[in-house]
A and B are shown apart, each in its own frame.
Chain A
Amino acid sequence: MVGIGDAVETAARPSGWRRLRRGLAACPPLVSACALWLAVAVGVALVTELISPYHYAQIDLRARLQPPVLLGGEWRHALGTDELGRDVMSRLFYSIRMSLLVALLGTAIGAVLGTMLGFLAAHFRGWIDDLIMVLVDFQASMPFIIIALSVLAFFGSSLTLFIALMGLFGWERYARLVRGMTLSAKEHGYAVAIRQLGASPWRVYSRHILPNIASALIVNVTLNFPEHIILETGLSFLGLGVQPPLTSLGNMVGYGREYLQSAWWIAVFPGIAIVLTTLSMSIVGDWIRDRLDPTLR
């Protein structure tokens, strides 16, 4: 039974993964550079404690506002210090970890939630479908930053709530996508065949339909992730996201702004890290999209 299903599936599935693997060999230098930065950022996030010279909250009032090393600073604080004498490089590493973590969790929650709701809508149709689509329409028609600000204002800002909120950002695109593609996939020969062979709906969706729409979902993830970074850093910049003493990239830019005249390095280094990350992810994402689905171009 499974054999037949798999055979049909292999025939129906586009050879996206093989194309991706072949493409990796002929990857343009810009894309490689971007992938390299993302790898470095993830590496920094994984071993933050080991490579940070100081703890991110360690204060040294005798070494306040010291410039980076090439501008008259010392190697002790290679990227300078802030107004409390905290080491900018250490804070940058911890901030990269926090921003990546929040954005990754947010993207993952949004993707899973949206995909599940999309399947539910396509499976049950009727009022469940209508309800989910009304919610999708609502979220698509409101700028998310306004929703986020209202929620944060009145629930106060805790890290858990903040991550949950980030998870709500973007789910509607997955839901819409998955619903549409599932509805058309259900009519395909392979899905009809598997259902008639007696597979449970869960099996049909997770083993057969999901792999077939996976490339579109992956493309959506790569588009969504930079937007999560921008939302997280933006809200933290406004002082409404990650709260001190915790630190995130947006948070650093936010208070570094006060010292733009005297100590630009506090805001500029995290700012560059944000831009490099979102830019790299967008470029790598565009490239993956062109590989996986040339028709979306």
Chain B
Amino acid sequence: MLRFLATKLLRALATVVLVVTFAFVVLRVSGDPAMLIMGAEAPPDAVAAFRTAWGLDEPLWRQYIDYFAAIAEGNLGQSMRDRRPALQIVLDRLPDTLWLMVPALLVKLLIGIPAGIYAALHRDTWVDRATMAFSVAGYSVPNFVLGLLLILLFAVNLRWLPSSGSETGWHAVLPVIVLGTAGAGILARFTRSTMLEVLGQPYVRTAVAKGVAWHRVVNWHALPNAAIPTVTVIGFMIGSLIAGAVVTESVFAWPGVGRQLVIAVSQRDLAVVQVILLLVAASMTVSNLTVDLLYGWLDPRVRTVAPKEG
């Protein structure tokens, strides 16, 4: 168990180091931030002062080490546009994103999982087909197209709901529908196929053959085993909450982290992009690690058998 824990922690750490390296490479080596910010016709001494202030004239390996040190201290730099600490800018936007994403996550779980289980238990009925059709649509219709169609219907034509902004709770309805339905479809499909796989296992057949009541087979034999892979998908959904918000927040002009990222990218605001990148990496790593540990707890096979394929 200790060894299992150690490997997982080491892996999580490796991911974080890789992301930080990626951020460093992309954000520092790609262009000259001094030129980007100051413009080509800025006076040379102003550019030089800027470079010194941001440590841009140091050798690259030196910048790389400083970069790690700065992140470890929680010093993530200032927004190059308005001089506020980048971390602060992003954290200010985080509650708005959570206001969208937590309800959306609940919609996904409360619709997706029951629908998937029901579809698997009633295979080839119309409910099953409807669930599958819904989930194919969930995969295929991009969030921004669904969002615009909903705006066109509910905001422009019917005038029931506001199309953009975040002043009242009503503003959250359309974005939550967009985010929730797409995710629910994906989750339903995954739950269904996992459940079907479990229902075909010998231990389910054995339980049925020895006369265990069907609802007991489902609740005690099938569901716990089907839950194991489903946990992975849910973990990925939680970890990618911020990333999932990028497009939808932009469609509805919702002032969250995702929209902030798009704005920062188009303004080339290095520090803000980097904070969001690290935030996403941290949330992915934490949720992956939690899933791995949950796995070890739910499924004893994972911790005893050395996880080495091939």
Contact = CB atoms under 8 A, between A and B. Distances in A.
A137 B244 contact: no
B30 A154 contact: yes
Interface string B141-170: 111110011011000100000010000000
A240 B145 contact: no
Contacts of A141: 15, 239, 284-285, 288
B193 interface: yes
A226 B186 CA distance: 14
Interface string B243-263: 110110011000000000110
Q: SS class of chain A's interface: helix, strand, loop or mixed?
A: helix
A226 B140 contact: yes
**By CB atoms of chain B within 10 A, which of A143, A261, A282 has the most?**
A143
Contact of B265 (A152, A179, A184): A152
B262 A268 contact: no
A85 interface: no
Contacts of B49: none
A240 B264 CA distance: 12
Nearest to B142: A230
B268 interface: yes
A257 B148 contact: yes
A157 B129 CA distance: 42
A156 B268 CA distance: 9
Interface residues of B, number: 54
Given A143-B284, A180-B309, A153 B136 contact: no
A201 to B, nearest CB: 17
A184 B14 CA distance: 28
B266 interface: yes
Q: SS class of chain B's interface: helix, strand, loop or mixed?
A: helix
B280 A142 contact: yes
A138 B21 CA distance: 11
A27 B26 CA distance: 47
Interface in A196-244: 226, 230, 233-234, 237-240
Contacts of B277: 146, 150
A138 B19 contact: yes
A274 B144 CA distance: 11
B145 A153 contact: no
A279 interface: yes
B310 interface: yes
A268 B31 contact: no
Interface in A241-273: 250, 253, 257, 260-261, 264, 267-268, 271
A151 interface: yes
A260 B151 contact: yes
B246 A149 contact: yes
A159 interface: no
B240 interface: yes
B193 A145 contact: no
A226 B156 CA distance: 29
Given A151-B26, A240-B265, A261-B156, A278 B140 contact: yes
B198 interface: no
**By CB atoms of chain A within 10 A, which of B18, B145, B265, B281 has the most?**
B145
Given A180-B309, A274-B145, A297-B193, A279 B152 contact: no
Contacts of B242: 146
**By CB atoms of chain A within 10 A, which of B140, B244, B251 has the most?**
B140
Contacts of B86: none
A132 to B, nearest CB: 13
Given A143-B243, A150-B273, A279 B148 contact: no
Given A154-B26, A156-B31, A226-B139, A138 B18 contact: yes
A150 B151 CA distance: 29
A124 interface: no
Given A278-B141, A278-B142, A283-B136, A260 B156 contact: yes
A75 interface: no
Interface string B16-58: 0011001100110011000000000000000000000000000
A286 interface: yes
B31 A137 contact: no
A127 interface: no
A261 B157 CA distance: 9
B298 interface: no
B60 interface: no
B281 A142 contact: yes
Nearest to B259: A238
A286 B139 CA distance: 12
A240 to B, nearest CB: 6
Contacts of B152: 260, 264, 268
B191 to A, nearest CB: 15
B11 A237 contact: no
B102 interface: no
A253 B149 CA distance: 11
Given A143-B284, A253-B145, A282-B139, 13 more contacts: A141-B285, A143-B243, A150-B23, A154-B26, A154-B31, A154-B270, A155-B26, A230-B142, A233-B144, A260-B152, A261-B156, A278-B139, A279-B136
5 contacts: A146-B242, A149-B261, A149-B265, A150-B26, A283-B136
What are the 6 A-B residue pairs with the smallest beta carbon separation, nearest first? Answer: A143-B243, A153-B265, A154-B30, A278-B140, A279-B140, A183-B310
